[in-house]
Amino acid sequence: MTERIIVIGSGPGGYKSAALGAKRGFDVILVEKNTIGGVCTNTGCIPSKALLSVAELADSIKGAGRKGINAAQESIDFSRVMKNKKRAVKISRKGVEKELKESGVEIIRGEAKLNNNKEVEVNGETLEAEHIIIATGSEPVVLPFLKVDEKNILTNKGAIELESIPESMLIIGGGYIGVEMAFFYSSMGTSVTVVELLDSLLPVMDSSLGKEAESMLKRKGVKIITGAKVSSVEGKKPFKAVLEGSQKEELEFEKILCSVGRKPSPPDIDLDIISEKGSVITDDFMKTPVEGVYAVGDVTGKGMLAHTAYKQAKIVIDTIDKKSNRGFSNYLIPAGVFTHPEIASVGFSEEDAKKEYDDVRTASFPISALGRGYSTGERAGLAKLVCKGDEVIGMHLVCPGATDIIMEGTLAMEKGLTVSDVVDTIHPHPTYSEAIKEAADKLINS
């Protein structure tokens, strides 16, 4: 008899697990209580990048005069901007639905409850399976004094659904969501202020990237306040926010976006598999402590990114299908911020590397010193390498296309390449990728 897999959740980890499992010959049921595609397709990756592409275009028009093109941005039709975003979401969702259908996955709409390691209850019906995969994703962390209504007090979900361009916006949190939304709304004409509790933006990345992000946003007129916190928000449109840092101040804003992080969102479970932080506990092969129950994606708390979930989906199906695999911790996870210029990172930051190793060396090369930089007029950006001896253990980029180019660093580190290997590899000219080679050259000649 064909073994059954029940997958709970249809985000990147869920739908990929379901589709791959069905292609391997398993009887797969996918349970989804909301919209197919999860956060990534509906309120995360896809819609935000659609909006950011419009922001980049708007900025290009504003700067066209410097290159001899006399173009004027008369106005922004925000309803059409949002219509374009909705179209991108619809196309992406249809792609997910098509993959599931063509793979032979049965979809059941409803909220799932795990009764035990063999039974899932949905809409009052009990479904049985040999294997259960939890892929219920994550949800925004909301500060306790904020009353989110997704109209004026926003999370990332509400920030991509506004009907008009706000005059002012406070963004609490300078991680990748905060930086991307600051980029978008400042391009639309909003007066944006970003408040970050730690000393730099993008605090989980190499400090050089946070500095580049701050410079980029300041050039767009965004006010950046680091080493400070928002202690309270009062009133109604405009909201009065109290900021506490080097000094205490009260500022007014039309909209407030809370982007201080995300937390795992597990389903209703009668099993002891939830950690103190709310994530589903898994090992390197996506197994929970309970036999036959697995988890993938944001709900595991391990690298809350869509491509992380894709890799975990492959690992969990390999595990169920009894095929060997390396285990999740043996893979590197690149990360990107889709501003202009783009920001991307993989491996160790300089700060973390120096905590771990003694023989850490770093080198950077500015994009402005490249032939491509001269020809395009790109003045901002860099490539930075972090090495343990001669081995490349970290790469950090700020340049157009950085989220694509970072794959050079990911592959180099996956294969254990050295600085010499990077230098010996021919990089096409004139390209932004040459900055990686130039940084490697500096390490060899230092």
153-258 fold = FAD/NAD(P)-binding domain (3.50.50)
Query: Could you read off the pLDDT of 416-443 as tens digits, one per residue?
Result: 999 999 999 999 999 999 999 999 999 9
pLDDT value at residue 219: 97
**Cα distance between the two ends of the chain:** 64
What CATH number matches the domain at 4-140+263-330, 3.40.309.10, 3.30.1310.10, 3.50.50.60, 1.10.10.10?
Answer: 3.50.50.60
**DSSP element (H, E) containing 422:** helix 419-424
Q: Name the E strands within 216-281.
A: 223-226, 229-234, 239-244, 248-253, 255-258, 262-264, 268-269
Question: What is the C-alpha separation between 99 and 111, in angstroms, rounded?
Answer: 22
pLDDT of residue 64: 86
pTM value is: 0.96
| pLDDT averages per 10-residue partition of the chain, 446 residues | 94 98 98 96 97 96 88 90 98 98 98 95 96 98 96 97 97 98 98 97 97 98 97 92 90 97 94 95 97 98 95 97 90 96 98 96 98 94 97 98 98 95 97 98 91
121-161 pLDDT, tens digit each: 999 999 999 999 999 999 999 999 999 999 999 999 999 99
Classify residue 390 by its DSSP letter.
T
Q: What is the DSSP string of 315-373?
A: HHHHHHTT-----GGGS---EEE-SSSEEEEEE--HHHHHHH-SSEEEEEEEGGGSHHH
Helix H or strand E segment including 424: helix 419-424
Q: Is 341-444 the same fold as 4-140+263-330?
A: no
Which residues pair with residue 264 across a beta bridge? Answer: 138
Give the catalytic positions in this structure. Answer: 429
Domain range annotation of the chain: 4-140+263-330, 153-258, 341-444
What is the distance between the alpha carbons of residues 334 and 156, in angstroms, rounded to a whole number? 21
Dihedral (C-alpha) 18, 32, 295, 414: value to the nearest 10 degrees? 60
Instruction: Answer yes or no: are the C-beta atoms of 401 and 432 closer than 8 Å.
Output: yes
**How many CB atoms are located within 10 Å of the residue 418 CB?**
17
Shortest CA distance to 207 belongs to which of 195, 198, 197? 198
**341-444: what fold?**
Enolase-like; domain 1 (3.30.390)
In degrees, rounded to 5, the angle at the alpha carbon of residue 301 between the alpha carbons of residues 299 and 306 is 70
